Amino acid sequence: MFRGAITAIVTPFKADYSIDFDALDRLIDFQLEQGIEGIIPCGSTGEAITQTLEERCAVIEHTVKRVSERVPVLAGTGGSSTAEVVEATARARKLGADGALINTPAYNRPQQEGLYLHYAAVAKATPGFPIMLYNIPGRTAVNMNTEVMVRLCNDYPQSFVAYKDATANLKQTEEVLRLTPLVVLSGDDGLTLPMISMGAQGIVSVVANVAPKAIRQLSDLSRAGKLKEAAALNHKLAPLIDACFVESNPVPSKAALHLMGKCGPTARLPLAPISEKSLAVVRKALSDFAIL
């Protein structure tokens, strides 16, 4: 279910920081028209950490209805409190999401046993609901070891089905591919090609917000083993990927989408508006990629 090119979609805000559901509709329609294979609302790119649970549920419900079963919707339900993650995941299931993306808890810095117990608690509360594990130590300050993922897969095989790898640690990526049945997806746009060449099955992408068709093409070419063509597209995409991370995600992507007329550029504090210098980088990347 969770394979190919999947977009970690931004949450558009109005100038007063309220959620812009009309813009969200435009963004979802753009993704589907361009051939994206899955959508994740309320991930880190969706600024879930700055939303209340009620806001997150509203975004998830709206996304599920707009997508209308055309592609899978994985709800971002991660957080730092296990009880809150359990509740968010249970509510996402009731709202019709096809699964949940759950990052390792941020700031707590749990032990490996704590990580196991955290995810096990969610699996017990939502039996059979598909979960994509999300390892992103650059944001959460903790790395989930491969051994924990092996235990989770062995103990809850109907729950843990996929893994978003944003560790930038290809050695661990190989371990997960070799030792678990998880469908591995790149969580780093810049590592899509090498990770798929190792056996990953796609990408959970930030850059797909801006260039969904190209990200889908990169995933397709890489998965088909057409590595020469994939490498050429990857080289072409590299400046756009860099531009989307010139400042903290999703500030550059929102600036790009604003330039494209898709939504406003607003990110919620503590994320600041993009600087003029960075905006020039984003504008040039869009122009060079023939998006503008």
Indicate whether 62 belongs to any domain: yes
Q: What is the CATH number of the domain that holds 156?
A: 3.20.20.70
Q: Which domain holds residue 181?
A: 4-223
Q: Where are the alpha helices (DSSP H) in the chain?
A: 21-33, 53-67, 82-94, 112-125, 137-140, 146-155, 170-179, 192-198, 212-223, 227-243, 251-259, 276-288
Terminal alpha carbon distance of the chain: 33
Task: Determine which helix (DSSP H) or strand (DSSP E) holds 142, and give its type and residue range.
Answer: none
pLDDT at 287: 98
Indicate whether 292 belongs to any domain: no
> Angle of helix 82-94 relative to helix 53-67, nearest 10 degrees?
30
Catalytic residue numbers? Answer: 134, 164
User: What are the pLDDT tens digits along the chain (292 aa)?
Assistant: 799 999 999 999 999 999 999 999 999 999 999 999 999 999 999 999 999 999 999 999 999 999 999 999 999 999 999 999 999 999 999 999 999 999 999 999 999 999 999 999 999 999 999 999 999 999 999 999 999 999 999 999 999 999 999 999 999 999 999 999 999 999 999 999 999 999 999 999 999 999 999 999 999 999 999 999 999 999 999 999 999 999 999 999 999 999 999 999 999 999 999 999 999 999 999 999 999 8
Indicate whether 194 belongs to any domain: yes
Block residue for tokens 């400046």: 239
Question: How many distinct structural domains can be found in the chain?
Answer: 1
Indicate whether 250 belongs to any domain: no
pTM of the entire predicted model: 0.96
Indicate whether 248 belongs to any domain: no
Indicate whether 282 belongs to any domain: no
Contact (CB, 8 A) for 106 and 136: no
Indicate whether 63 belongs to any domain: yes
Indicate whether 162 belongs to any domain: yes
